Amino acid sequence: MPNPFRFGVQSFNADSAEQWTDRVRKAEALGYSAFHLADHILGPGAALEAAAHPIQNLAAIPAMAYAAAVTSEIKIGCRVFCIDYHLPVVLIKSAMTIDMLSNGRLEFGLGAGWIKSEYEAMGVTFDEPQVRIDRLADVVEGIKAFRADGAADVSNDSISWKDFEGLPKPISKPPIMIGGGSPRVLRLAGREADIVSLNFNNRAGMIGPDGVQMSTEAETTKKIGWIKEGAGDRFDDLEIEIGAYFTFVTDDAKPIVAMMSQQFGFSEEEMLRHPHGLFGGVDSICEELERRREQFGISYFTVGEDNLEPFAPVVARLTGK
């Protein structure tokens, strides 16, 4: 039996508390199941230009707490916290506090980090992928110890805790989302996460054609295989999420598909079926999402804030809300 469809919205910026409140409440009213931030620090400058990444003007933790405070049902998350930007025990305590104060609505997303220029601009060491992913595994061990009963004693390469119990306890064990696109991080996600967030393999340390080309249907099939290798018998218990970064709800998608296929070096058919893209009217997008759930097991799709209202009819159709 496939997982039911869920849909999220990801937002980076707001000009005021009123705008942020309106956006998250609208997402809740329109039937989206989750409202996410990302976890980036830098304002305008050469570092973000080098990464080709959009600006994020909100700090994730307080913005998540605010979003939770002005809503009552929608899940609140981050796709995903970069564990190298936070002291682990402070990040985990902050997340568990959001879960408690939101009555159990946290989705706890974590990643190993990938924007090299952001690390360098902040003076944070950008270790090799294996080191960063091993550190992510250490932090996941810390989360599970912090939220468990009894002392949160953890000793690994990244964390050395003793003589305290983790507080507050979450209302329920908030699902851990692990995001990424490389074999090592997706095997870790299969082994340890509740939600696996498929992303580009950002081995270049920036957004660019390489990551998009490494996320085709064929490459996504490989990614599902890596998740299965890590998950073993627990694979059927996982929820698989993906960011639909290239979403265009329109009755005339052909010019957009033609432009993007040329930009990334795909045929138009390949672009239409790209797992991170959705192109067309509500009927065709719904059919494509059904197909992707059947093919890959992906049932959780996140769109950007620009698609909050245009994509809402798809949410209503596939969730019955």
**CATH number for the domain harbouring residue 220:** 3.20.20.30
The SS3 assignment for 178 reads strand
Name the residue with tokens 């080309």: 213
Q: Determine the average pLDDT of the residues in 133-155.
A: 96
Q: Determine the average pLDDT of the residues in 46-54.
A: 86
pLDDT at 190: 98
**Residue 1 falls inside a structural domain:** no
**Residue 20 falls inside a structural domain:** yes
List the one residue out of 84, 92, 151, 74 whose CA is nearest residue 111.
84
pLDDT digit string, tens, across residues 73-110: 999 999 999 999 999 999 999 999 999 999 999 999 99
pLDDT higher than threshold 60 for residue 249: yes
Number of domains in the chain: 1
pLDDT at 204: 53
**Residue 116 falls inside a structural domain:** yes
Name the residue range of residue 140's domain. Answer: 6-319
Question: Which of 40-54, 81-95, 162-176, 280-294 has the least mean pLDDT?
Answer: 40-54
Give how far Cα 46 sits from Cα of 32, 50, 208, 247, Å: 35, 6, 16, 28
Give how far Cα 44 sits from Cα of 49, 55, 183, Å: 8, 7, 32
Task: Tell me what percent of the residues of the chain surpass a pLDDT of 90.
Answer: 87
pLDDT digit string, tens, across residues 186-220: 999 999 999 999 987 655 555 566 678 888 999 99
pLDDT higher than threshold 80 for residue 168: yes
pLDDT at 162: 96
Q: How far apart are CA 63 and CA 233, in angstroms?
A: 37
List the one residue out of 203, 171, 52, 166 whose CA is nearest residue 106.
171
Q: How far apart are CA 115 and CA 58, in angstroms?
A: 18
Q: How far apart are CA 191 and CA 39, in angstroms?
A: 23
Check residue 3 and report its DSSP letter.
P
Q: How far apart are CA 111 and CA 132, in angstroms?
A: 9
Q: Which pLDDT band holds residue 25 (cuts at 50, 70, 90)?
A: very high
Q: Which pLDDT band holds residue 50 (cuts at 50, 70, 90)?
A: confident
